[in-house]
Structure 1
Amino acid sequence: MELSDAIEVVQELLVAAQTFGRQAAARTKSSTFGVGTVSIDFDGGARSVVGGAGGAVLGRHIVLTVGPRWPSALAKSGCARYVQFVSTKSTEMCLDLPLYESIEFAHSPLVLVAAQINFEEVGEDVQHAQARDMQKSMPPEWTVLQNAPQFRTTLTPTGAVNEPKRSAYRLGTADGAWSLVINPDSVTLETRSYRSWDDMFEKLTTIAAAVAGVFDPAQILRVGVRYVDQVPLPDGRDSWQGLIPDSLLGAGLHPVLGQAIVGSEQRHLLQIDDQARCLVRHGMMADERQRPGGVYLLDYDVFNEHPSPFDVQKVRDVADRLHSYAGSLFRVCLTDELYAILRG
């Protein structure tokens, strides 16, 4: 189904919107990879939401993605491309973010990407047999299995108390590109060789299914995704002014102090929607040549801490939405000039 064909499907959704007294209009947009989107803009107070791998909700918008990997009952039979529409419960946006657009950057500044699923503690330790069962659920390239004991220190009124170490395990791919830390109450997927969200999303889905099969937790307590970018100062530039919005640079623009800043870090906790938050860390740091301010750090830890019954599809839906939020936040922290440089 080509992007123009998807509009016919969208008409049904527009009619449904009128039923609830909402004025709506559809518009289209194309992306780098030939995967398009259909966006439905609602008037104020709209509460319609789409979720899953083929859609996202962003404020007063419904965004449908047209691509080869999302079959749907709404798609016409025999079509090469499909549209997926999934109705979920309402999400109240607290932050007016731009629509997320998937872009392949020629000069990607990503240095670390992570995703974490937290659940209730299923025991004091992870047993070797459980770690092996997790490994067996993974693709064959996950050949590394190591013990990774966890140490905890609790601060009390009388001082720090070291708790007994807990047994945990680390899985890894043969090439060292991916790792998975398995704790009694969480699993954390990490990579420094990020290629695409589709790739990571597939791995996270496999891991969530493995957790459900091996540990059988009752609840999802937290889902989080984290993107750490270290943006190098472009050649020919001696400051970040015009590259990072002035409102973020803060003291870096001070006529006296700005010249002496060796490094800086700011932290902001953002409420994105009624369930999602983001801890943003950003600031200047030295580059490989130890030039003060030669790198700008943008670190987004986007998470949902609302408990829900453990369900693999729920993990997928939440993680997909958090990923979109991280992408939109990254965009608003760059000026058009720096965005164009990174995009290439």
Structure 2
Amino acid sequence: MASSATEIEAGGRTVRISSPERVIYEATPWSAEVTKLMVAEYYVAVEDGIMRALRERPTTLERWPKGFREDMVMATRADGHGDAFYQKRVPQGAPEYLESARIQFPSGRHADEICPTEVAVVAWAAHMGTLTFHPWPVRRTDVEHPDELRIDLDPQPGATFADARRVARTARALLEEIGIRGFPKTSGNRGVHVYVRIEPRWSFTELRHAAIAFGRELGRRTDGVTVSWWKEERPEGSIFVDYNQNARDRTIASAYSLRAKPGAPVSTPLTWDELDGLDDPRTLNLHTVPQRLDELGDAHAEIDDVAHSLDTMLEWHARDEEQGHGDLPYPPDYPKMPGEPKRVQPSRERKE
């Protein structure tokens, strides 16, 4: 009979894990079954990496209290019903050592979000059913000025991880051309993320403009890249540079986060050479990543050593505006934003 609760040690604290034997991920041909206790133990095992990704950052929790199954659905704001949900405010029953940070949504409303300062907070979140951590690109000392640019290379239908890997190589060359060091990681699915630490002196709007400009410039350097917001305009087999991941209140799964996909995959930091040699990102999962971190260390260990400037990318954006290529649409849940073009699906606009 399964025990009702157990305790684990996390950074010098004792964290209670309820229903430790609950199956969170079913076994797959490439990955063994994962229990709730194993999820919590995984996050303690990757403390060095997960805390580098989350420390002092307001963080949204992606919670799957029943575990993950492919037929489960994420609750949306519209219906509020689902098997999983995003927790943007500190949950009730949080431990006394949990700290928070106040952030502002695009609507102008505020919220106090979890702000991890120690691994016990991460383990407690796992006890609460959290699989994925979504940190803001800011530190709580200055929540209005991002310190990180996130380049999200998202394969569209017909594209593969190999396509994202190819575009990431060009992204690396483009960054190095302007004196910037990027740090890649797998998305935990088919995509690639490249993170760039920046000086915290630009707004979210400027950060997003830099991402748009980088995506456009990347498309000039290699085939198969798009920044089209509307899916109907993205070519089949292309890689979408999701610039809106840099908008206020939009976040990406952190380094070392589990993803809600079969096999308990992990969004895993890699060196550029390791990325070039990786054929199947599913091999980077809960069972394999802790040993990798122990043996090889964190590929993002030096990410905080340099803070870069966005000046060149913002110059590209100003140039593009002069040539008639201005801002692009925001996500549908945003209020109308300054300088934004019409937020109407092209086929629908033609029909009207």
TM-score band, normalised by shorter chain: under 0.3
Higher strand proportion (structure 1 or 2)? 1
TM-score by length of 2: 0.23
TM-score by length of 1: 0.23
Higher helix proportion (structure 1 or 2)? 2
Q: Which has the larger radius of gyration?
A: 1
